[in-house]
Amino acid sequence: MQGTVDSATPTVVHEEHQDLRVLGLLTFLASEFLMFAGFFAVFLVFRSSIAEWPPKETEVELLLPAVNTVILVSSSLVINLGTKAIKQNDLAKMRLWFGITAAMGAVFLVGQVYEYLTLGYGLKTNLFSNCFYLMTGFHGAHVFIGLLLILGVLWRSRRAGHYNDITHTGPEMAEIYWHFVDVVWIVLFTLIYVLTLF
Amino acid sequence: MAQADLSFNSPVAPHGHPDKWKWYHYFTFNVDHKVIGIQYLVTSFLFYLVGGFMAVMLRTELATPDSDFLSPELYNAFLTNHGTIMIFLWIVPAAIGGFGNYLIPLMIGARDMAFPKLNAIAFWLNPPAGALLLGSFYFGGAQAGWTSYPPLSEITANAAQTLWILAIVLVGTSSILGSVNFLVTIWKMRVPSMKWDQIPLFCWAMVATSILALFSTPVLAAGLILLLFDINFGTSFFKPDAGGNVVVYQHLFWFYSHPAVYLMILPIFGIMSEVIPVHARKPIFGYKAIAYSSLTICLVGLFVWVHHMFTSGTPPWMRIFFTISTLIVAVPTGIKIFSWVATLWGGKIRYTTAMLFAVGLLSMFVFGGLSGVTLGTAPFDIHVHDTYYVVGHFHYVLFGGSVFGIYSAVYHWFPKITGRMLNEPLGKIHFVLTFIGTILTFTPMHALGMQGMPRRVAMYDAQFTDLNQLVTVGAYILAVSVIPFYINVLWSWSKGQKAGDNPWNALTLEWTTASPPIIENWDVLPVVTHGPYEYGHEPEEELETVS
């Protein structure tokens, strides 16, 4: 995909430039994080200005999200093993670790949906539930996109040699995105769940 | 793909594109930054007419104190969409998308942007956004002004307001994707011989613009998403009766929309720094000061947004903090203004239309900047908040600043883009009409505001009639002023005098290639041997024979 086949030949016309996609993704994610920061700020404003937060009828569940957090955070380590493997040209291992990551992400999403179904209140119940569903929902959408990216990498890796120790920007970008989703979740979990303990 | 054996005259370039783009390529998903730049420019100049038509309708209504020309709903819809279109579909896409895309790779010696496909995606988000805005008129048009403050935006024309939100989210996404591209391109794609202090100042300005867009646009998206949920999905983020808070929306909105003001002027500052040295035949005064002041505006500009909210129950400490931070912006802006004046000083000034618009911008922007300083000061702002004084101020910086800058850029780079010169006499007629129209339209607004006329109204007290009619006459002159311009562009594009590679004897890299540039810009990348503005150092026959 990178067109660096003849990088040894000095080309006069139409040379390819270096692969800047990772840099581009990082720049984009810096921007994307600010959108979540906007949501976080809104949440904190409401939290500091409303006496009972969260209100009695919308208490949050703690155990399931805590388990989910452990799953998501450890999946970040697993996907890192995957990119480490491809950097050593071990395609089979990469596929294995990426597969496990995808499974963990899917479990996280299922857990999230299960939590929604069992909470007993909905998006419209009150301001807290507005924030709760909007923020976790947006994060969930990002997890879903991350999952699609990982599945995309797995799909492309079915052809031998598509990813190798030199060409592995795809897995690398999927990993970076997955870490991003993870970091956002840690902040989100702290704000929505952990802070209710205090 | 062995490419080394291809000679310079190779008829078909190896990337599978033709030797030259045909007209229909400009209507397709094309990854060439020059095609994308032209797509942005043409689209935005079309929407300029749409937004201008709405302005003329508004001013016609305001020619008399009574509401007798437009229905109240249509007036509000025109008011909202005039602002929205002029900002999001005219100035931003023309200055950032159009000139940014066209010029940056050419100025830094790159063959294209870092992510050409992403670039094309960013452009193609714009036409649907425009379609959504125009389509919203089917549902009555959004009524709540370009700021769309709740609760008004939540209780009027829900369907149209929803389309409005989606349109803004689309152009916001486009702006973020574009900014990623600009930053990475300027950072990584410069021709190797170009050092950081040899980058044209327009590119420095685009660095600042892109950082600002990257950090502020997503926050607006967050606010608009909450608004969307409030309108359509029964949440109550901004509904006070259910515990929500309307001021939170204002914070999210202005955290983007104040920087948006700088998004619309920083590229223009960059254009000024290009046009003035070329037509004054002098090195730019204070290269580093201008470059760093762009970054300073970008940084400080992220912390001034509350000056739009001095009357929103803002606590005194906030008023003090944000008054001070706002006034600090005047310093880097002043550095630029004085640097341009110092560049002009003693220069061999050529009164081309591009230069006339640049100097016109200088005078307009000083005036608009000063009225901005008065508005940024909380004690004064409280009295003129939401009056025509504000409308006068921001039109001075946006029309007298940004639009003059875009005009200047068109006259300056049209020869590069099309290979043909614009007609100078028509250009001068255009300039004179625009200059007079601007003063006539936007100066009386300050007086109206000081006398207490509120903005966004269709009816006003009869005592304001005379000044309002003056404003309306000015607006008609501005409407007429675009006629010679559009005729000039359309005629010159096919029939204008041939420009040659470098009609202005300019030193930046875009003038080292053909006009219009070939696909992928150069056969052999240029080598930078001098700074972008070293006029007077280079042997220049024209200057030497005259002196």
Contact (Cβ atoms closer than 8 angstroms) between residue B51 and residue B479: no
DSSP B282: S
Query: A42 touching B, CB under 8 A?
Result: yes
| pLDDT, mean of residues A16-35 | 91
CB contact under 8 A, A31 and B176: yes
**Which chain B residues are closer than 8 Å to A15 by Cβ?**
3
What distances in angstroms separate CA B432 from CA B268, B355, B470, one per listed residue?
20, 13, 18
Asked if pLDDT for residue B376 goes beyond 50, the answer is yes
Q: Which of A9, A39, A50 sits opposite B222 (nearest CB)?
A: A39
What distances in angstroms separate CA B521 from CA A145, B103, B386, B477, B511, one per listed residue?
36, 11, 48, 40, 11
Name which of B6, B10, B19, B180 to mutate to probe chain A: the one with the most chain A Cβ atoms within 10 A of its Cβ.
B180
For B387, the 3-state DSSP assignment is strand
CB-side exposure of B211: number of CA atoms within 13 Å? Answer: 17
Per-residue pLDDT at B543: 45
Per-residue pLDDT at B199: 95
pTM recorded for the entire structure: 0.92
Residue that the structure tokens 């040379």 belong to: A15
CATH fold of the domain at B34-543: Cytochrome C Oxidase; Chain A (1.20.210)
Written as one string, the DSSP assignment of B504-530 is T---SGGGGS-SSPBTTB-SS-----S
CB contact under 8 A, B184 and A6: no
Return mean pLDDT, chain B. Answer: 93
Per-residue pLDDT at A6: 39
CB contact under 8 A, A12 and B524: yes
The domain limits of chain A are 2-197
Q: Which of B15, B214, B236 sits opposite A27 (nearest CB)?
A: B214
Per-residue pLDDT at B287: 95
**CA B268 from centre of chain:** 7
- How far apart CA B450 and CA B444 sit, in angstroms, is 10
CB contact under 8 A, B237 and A127: yes
Asked if pLDDT for residue A102 goes beyond 60, the answer is yes
Centre a 10 Å sphere on the Cβ of residue A110 and count the other Cβ atoms it contains: 11
| pLDDT, mean of residues A153-170 | 92
Name which of A9, A19, A27, A52 to mutate to probe chain B: the one with the most chain B Cβ atoms within 10 A of its Cβ.
A27
Backbone torsions φ then ψ of B387, nearest 5 degrees: -110, 180
Q: Which of B15, B221, B248 sits opposite A14 (nearest CB)?
A: B15
**Which chain A residues are closer than 8 Å to B225 by Cβ?**
134, 138
- Token pair in block for residue B171: 């152009």
**Exposed/middle/buried for residue B40 (C-beta within 10 Å: 0-12, 13-18, 19+):** buried
Contact residues for B501 (Cβ-Cβ < 8 A; gap 6+):
B511, B512, B513, B514, B515
Nearest chain B Cα distance for residue A146, angstroms: 19
What distances in angstroms separate CA B33 from CA B38, B157, B258, B436, one per listed residue?
9, 39, 28, 36
**Rg, C-alpha atoms of chain B:** 23
Contact (Cβ atoms closer than 8 angstroms) between residue A21 and residue A168: no
Contact residues for B132 (Cβ-Cβ < 8 A; gap 6+):
B163, B164, B166, B167, B170
* pLDDT range class, residue A10, cuts 50, 70, 90: very low
Closest CA to B192 of B277, B108, B293: B108
Q: Which of A12, A27, A39 sits opposite B4 (nearest CB)?
A: A12
Peptide bond into A54 cis (omega under 30): yes
- How far apart CA B360 and CA B347 sit, in angstroms, is 17
C-alpha triplet B429, B431, B436: angle, nearest 5°: 100
**Which chain A residues are closer than 8 Å to B236 by Cβ?**
126-127, 130
| pLDDT, mean of residues B186-200 | 92
B-proximal residues of A, 85-124, CB under 8 Å: 123-124
Could you tell me which CATH number the domain at A2-197 has?
1.20.120.80
The domain limits of chain B are 34-543
Contact residues for A104 (Cβ-Cβ < 8 A; gap 6+):
A71, A72, A74, A75, A78
CB contact under 8 A, A42 and B236: no
**Which chain B residues are closer than 8 Å to A31 by Cβ?**
176, 179-180, 214-215, 217-218
C-alpha triplet A137, B161, B167: angle, nearest 5°: 70
Asked if pLDDT for residue B541 goes beyond 60, the answer is no
Per-residue pLDDT at A4: 38
CB contact under 8 A, A12 and B235: no
DSSP B453: P
Contact (Cβ atoms closer than 8 angstroms) between residue A150 and residue A101: yes
Name which of A42, A121, A129 to mutate to probe chain B: the one with the most chain B Cβ atoms within 10 A of its Cβ.
A42
| pLDDT, mean of residues B533-543 | 63
Residue that the structure tokens 């959004």 belong to: B142
Per-residue pLDDT at A157: 93
For B137, the 3-state DSSP assignment is helix
What distances in angstroms separate CA B162 from CA A35, B47, B154, B159, B441, one per listed residue?
19, 20, 10, 5, 32
**Which chain B residues are closer than 8 Å to A20 by Cβ?**
114-115, 184, 188-189
Instruction: Return the bridge partners of B498, or none.
Output: B420
Name which of A21, A35, A123, A142 to mutate to probe chain B: the one with the most chain B Cβ atoms within 10 A of its Cβ.
A35
**Which chain B residues are closer than 8 Å to A123 by Cβ?**
229, 233-235
| pLDDT, mean of residues B521-526 | 91
CB contact under 8 A, B255 and A12: no
- How far apart CA B355 and CA B276 sit, in angstroms, is 7
Nearest chain A Cα distance for residue B204, angstroms: 17
* pLDDT range class, residue B12, cuts 50, 70, 90: very low
Per-residue pLDDT at B529: 86
CB contact under 8 A, A50 and B243: yes
CB contact under 8 A, A45 and B188: no
What distances in angstroms separate CA B24 from CA B28, B35, B520, one per listed residue?
7, 11, 19
Q: Chains A, B: CB contacts under 8 A, how many?
A: 134
CB contact under 8 A, B3 and A11: yes
Per-residue pLDDT at B384: 96
Nearest chain B Cα distance for residue A46, angstroms: 8
Per-residue pLDDT at A15: 54
Centre a 10 Å sphere on the Cβ of residue B439 and count the other Cβ atoms it contains: 17
pLDDT in tens, B143-174: 999 999 999 999 999 999 999 999 999 999 99
Nearest chain A Cα distance for residue B121, angstroms: 15
- Token pair in block for residue A150: 């990982």
Between residues B74 and A3, which one has the greater pLDDT? B74
Asked if pLDDT for residue A9 goes beyond 90, the answer is no
| pLDDT, mean of residues B65-70 | 94
Between residues B420 and B546, which one has the greater pLDDT? B420
- Token pair in block for residue A109: 């999403």
Closest CA to A4 of A174, A158, A153, A167: A167
**Alpha helices (H) in chain A, listed in sequence order:** 21-49, 63-87, 91-118, 127-156, 169-192
CB contact under 8 A, B248 and A45: yes
**Which chain B residues are closer than 8 Å to A34 by Cβ?**
214-216, 218-219
Contact residues for B53 (Cβ-Cβ < 8 A; gap 6+):
none
Nearest chain A Cα distance for residue B7, angstroms: 8
- Token pair in block for residue B408: 């200047």
Mark residue B359 as left, alpha or beta (left: phi above 0; alpha: psi -120 to 50; beta: remaining).
Answer: alpha
What distances in angstroms separate CA A83 from CA A73, A77, B2, one per listed residue?
16, 10, 31
What distances in angstroms separate CA A93 from CA A100, A154, B61, B110, B437, one per listed residue?
11, 12, 71, 39, 70
pLDDT in tens, B247-290: 999 999 999 999 999 999 999 999 999 999 999 999 999 999 99
Written as one string, the DSSP assignment of B313-336 is S--HHHHHHHHHHHHHHHHHHHHH
Backbone torsions φ then ψ of B498, nearest 5 degrees: -60, 140
Q: Which of A20, A46, A124 sits opposite B114 (nearest CB)?
A: A20
Per-residue pLDDT at A180: 97
What distances in angstroms separate CA B67 from CA B59, B439, B474, one per listed residue?
12, 26, 20
**Number of residues that this document lists for chain B:** 547
| pLDDT, mean of residues A93-99 | 96
**Which chain A residues are closer than 8 Å to B6 by Cβ?**
12-14
User: Of the given ranges (A73-77, A152-156, B19-23, B334-338), which has the lowest mean pLDDT?
Assistant: B19-23
| pLDDT, mean of residues B426-430 | 97
Per-residue pLDDT at B546: 42
- Token pair in block for residue B261: 């003001």
CB contact under 8 A, A34 and B177: no
Per-residue pLDDT at A8: 39
* pLDDT range class, residue B15, cuts 50, 70, 90: low
- Say what the alpha-carbon torsion angle B535, B537, B539, B543 is, to the nearest 10 degrees: 50
Contact (Cβ atoms closer than 8 angstroms) between residue B371 and residue B392: yes
**Which chain B residues are closer than 8 Å to A30 by Cβ?**
214-215
Nearest chain A Cα distance for residue B87, angstroms: 21
pLDDT in tens, B91-150: 999 999 999 999 999 999 999 999 999 999 999 999 999 999 999 999 999 999 999 999
* pLDDT range class, residue A16, cuts 50, 70, 90: low
Name which of B119, B215, B219, B524 to mutate to probe chain A: the one with the most chain A Cβ atoms within 10 A of its Cβ.
B219
Per-residue pLDDT at B537: 59
Per-residue pLDDT at A196: 86
**Which chain B residues are closer than 8 Å to A54 by Cβ?**
none
Peptide bond into B151 cis (omega under 30): yes
**Which chain B residues are closer than 8 Å to A50 by Cβ?**
243
Per-residue pLDDT at A142: 97
Closest CA to A68 of A109, A35, A40, A125: A109
Q: Which residue of B has its CA nearest to A25?
A: B180
Asked if pLDDT for residue B528 goes beyond 80, the answer is yes
Per-residue pLDDT at A160: 84
Contact (Cβ atoms closer than 8 angstroms) between residue A163 and residue A15: no
**Which chain A residues are closer than 8 Å to B226 by Cβ?**
42, 134
Backbone torsions φ then ψ of B416, nearest 5 degrees: -70, -45
Centre a 10 Å sphere on the Cβ of residue B80 and count the other Cβ atoms it contains: 28
Asked if pLDDT for residue A18 goes beyond 90, the answer is no
Nearest chain B Cα distance for residue A139, angstroms: 13
